[in-house]
Amino acid sequence: MSYVDEVYDLVVAKNPAQPEFHQAVKEVLESLRVVIEANEEQYRKDALLERLVTPERQLLFRVPWVDDKGQVQVNNGFRVQFNSAIGPYKGGLRLHPSVNLGIIKFLGFEQIFKNSLTGLPIGGGKGGSDFDPKGKSDREVMAFCQSFMTELHKYIGADTDVPAGDIGTGGREIGYMYGQYKRLTGLYEGVLTGKGLTYGGSLARTEATGYGLLYLTEEMLKCNGKDIAGKTVAISGSGNVAIYAAQKAQQLGAKVVTVSDSTGWVYDPEGIDVDLLKEVKEVKRARLTEYAAARKSAEYHEKKNGEHGVWNVKCDVALPCATQNELDLEDAKALVANGCFAVAEGANMPTTMEATEYLQANGVLFCPGKAANAGGVATSALEMSQNSERLSWTFEEVDSKLKSIMVNIFHNLDDAAKKYGMAGNYVAGANIAGFLKVAEAMTAQGIV
């Protein structure tokens, strides 16, 4: 049996009931096959793949907090410190009821390669909790965040592990966590990114993942003889990534016609009104029904079981920006049938493997999340640099660094795909380019 297959079987056997983690490992290992096989003897002797798929450390902890009725609530807390070969662990904290160890491990594993692709010195990690900030008062969110950080602070630090936002963790949550970290340690250091501008945050961090997604998409289209200007774009999600993806797409001359949340989706043929969307989602923290009520041209569709309406709309470019496995084979077929020619993932692993294969087989340009959404973590690393320097760069400085990082990422993965005889396969290119740097650093550092 080949080394790749052996290690995948081992992952399934050792990590039961973690389908998302299995899926992420399978996708990466499959596309690394050619690279691994070229160096199989050495990698096998060093157990390089076994070490790569096993987190350096997994922290699971209790998060007790008191709700507004005086009732004690208990959530599960997670931090997976996956790989520190090329820098301190770096990756967000997801707060969502669906969070479990397998999901955090899939995200942490992906993060290793994503962080490597940015070209910056950051290792891979991820964390979070099954706490749901939705519908909670500010005081309840603060109580949870303080309790979460009371345990987590023992394991993180500006040079060891630097968490950031993710689903459910925005500026408010990062603020409460940062305050508690400072109170417990007495340290004013860059231990979290996505901080507010008054206490060490970076300009353009809020916009970075969505803007970066569009910078990369623009470059991918340009290198394939196409232009984003004038194109129709379908976006899913209406959170941080989706909002700023929509904003940048429109600044680049495209028309964004959809957004969604977990209960429904909006089709707005005149183009999404980003200011209104920001008001509804960022200020009022309301549902998309409020967007539709305030905008004549918008149609609201309730999400029915198993139906992902956004992908049935005619578009040239699709940008899934909500959550994992939200674009399946049926959706991929609908996109191809409607003439969509490019998909770039704003979310982490939003496209199922079958859907990815179908899109690629039908000539759709497909860029995986670990490359396309790396602008967020790249700008987080820029925030770390500013914190270390005790300086703040201008919006334009950060944005132009972000743009050149995203353009470089695209060329790195494009070159890697070509070098290994898979031109145009950006999934393989991203995995190979991300892997080679980490593998070299792991090998150089000996058996640790």
Q: What residues act catalytically?
A: 126
Residue number of the CB atom closest to ligand NDP: 239
Considering only residues 218 through 237, tell me which ones interact with ligand NDP, judged by CB under 6 A. 237
Which residues share a beta bridge with 166?
169
- R_g of the chain computed on alpha carbons: 21
150 part of the interface to ligand NDP, by CB under 6 A: no
Complete DSSP assignment for 201-252: --TTHHHHHHHHHHHHHHHHHHHTT--STT-EEEE---SHHHHHHHHHHHHT
The distance of closest approach from Cβ of residue 47 to ligand NDP in the complex, given in angstroms and rounded to an integer, is 29
167 part of the interface to ligand NDP, by CB under 6 A: yes
Among the listed residues 215, 217, 209, the one whose alpha carbon sits nearest the alpha carbon of residue 233: 217
Nearer to ligand NDP, 209 or 217 (CB): 209
Q: Which stretch binds ligand NDP (CB under 6 A): 7-15, 164-172, 215-223, 418-426?
A: 164-172
CA distances from 326 to 29, 100, 256, 306, 336 (A): 22, 18, 19, 10, 16
Residue in this structure with the two tokens 């191809």, named with its chain if needed: 336
- The residue count for binding ligand NDP (CB under 6 A) is 24
Sole binder of ligand NDP in the list 160, 250, 262, 443 (CB under 6 A): 262
As a whole number of angstroms, the distance between CA 90 and CA 297 comes to 41
Residue in this structure with the two tokens 């132009």, named with its chain if needed: 400
Q: Which stretch binds ligand NDP (CB under 6 A): 14-22, 65-73, 318-326, 405-413?
A: 318-326
Considering only residues 68 through 127, tell me which ones interact with ligand NDP, judged by CB under 6 A. 96, 98
The distance of closest approach from Cβ of residue 380 to ligand NDP in the complex, given in angstroms and rounded to an integer, is 8
Complete DSSP assignment for 345-379: -SSSS-B-HHHHHHHHHTT-EEE-HHHHTTHHHHH
The distance of closest approach from Cβ of residue 48 to ligand NDP in the complex, given in angstroms and rounded to an integer, is 26
Nearer to ligand NDP, 127 or 168 (CB): 168
Backbone phi and psi for residue 18, each to the nearest 5 degrees, phi listed first: -130, 65
Nearer to ligand NDP, 263 or 404 (CB): 263
203 part of the interface to ligand NDP, by CB under 6 A: no
Sole binder of ligand NDP in the list 232, 373, 412, 431 (CB under 6 A): 373
193 part of the interface to ligand NDP, by CB under 6 A: no
Identity of the amino acid at 361:
A
204 part of the interface to ligand NDP, by CB under 6 A: no
As a whole number of angstroms, the distance between CA 11 and CA 155 comes to 26
261 part of the interface to ligand NDP, by CB under 6 A: yes
Complete DSSP assignment for 269-329: TT---HHHHHIIIIIS---HHHHHHH-TT-EEEEPPTT--GGGGS--SEEE--S-TT-B-H
Nearer to ligand NDP, 236 or 425 (CB): 236
Nearer to ligand NDP, 18 or 373 (CB): 373
348 part of the interface to ligand NDP, by CB under 6 A: yes
- 134 contacts: CB under 8 Å, gap ≥ 6: 168
CA triplet 127, 130, 132: central angle to 5 degrees?
Answer: 115
Q: Contact 369/349 with Cβ under 8 angstroms?
A: yes
Nearer to ligand NDP, 240 or 387 (CB): 240
Sole binder of ligand NDP in the list 174, 272, 347, 402 (CB under 6 A): 347
Identity of the amino acid at 227:
D
The distance of closest approach from Cβ of residue 126 to ligand NDP in the complex, given in angstroms and rounded to an integer, is 9
Q: Which stretch binds ligand NDP (CB under 6 A): 183-191, 258-266, 385-393, 409-417?
A: 258-266
| Residues lying near ligand NDP in the complex (CB under 6 A) | 96, 98, 165-168, 209, 237-242, 261-263, 321-323, 346-348, 373, 376
